[in-house]
Amino acid sequence: MKTHLLILSLAGVIAGPACGQNAPAPAPPIRQPADTPALPAFKTGMTVIDRAGAAVGKIAGLAEDQREPIVIVEIDGKMVGLLQRTLALENDHARSTQTKAQMLTTAQAPR
C-alpha cells in the first residue's frame, strides 16, 4: 500500500508540469526607490584630476567593496582604489576631492 502511494505521488510530481500546469511567474525586477540618486558613469580610461585640477592618472577599472563602490586608478604606475564618493564626474574626467598625496596615502586596496 505504501509503495502504491509513493508511486502515485511520484507520478503526480512528474506528470504535473506535463498536464498543462503553468510555471510560476518570474519575479519582478528590483527597482531602486525614486529618491535614490543614480551613480556617476565613471569609465575605464577616464582621466582623474586632483582637487587643484592637475591630472594624476586614469581610471583602470571599477570594483565593489563590502560597503561602497571603489574606482581603481593608475597613479604613477601604481593601482590604487579610491572610494567613489571622493570623485565627481565633470564632463570627460573625474575630479577628486583629494590631493595626489592624499589619494596615494588613503587608497583602498582593490579586491
Question: Can you tell me which residue has the cell 590604487?
Answer: 80
Return the exposure string of 11-36: e unless at least 16 CB atoms fall within 10 Å of the residue's CB, then b: eeeeeeeeeeeeeeeeeeeeeeeeee
Whether the full predicted model's pTM is greater than 0.75, yes or no, is no
Considering the chain, what is the average pLDDT of its residues?
75
pLDDT score, position 22: 64
pLDDT band at 18 (very low <50, low <70, confident <90, very high): low
Q: Report yes or no: 65 and 111 within 8 Å, Cβ to Cβ.
A: yes
- And the C-alpha cell for 28? 519582478
DSSP β-bridge partners for residue 70: 63, 83
pLDDT at site 9: 47
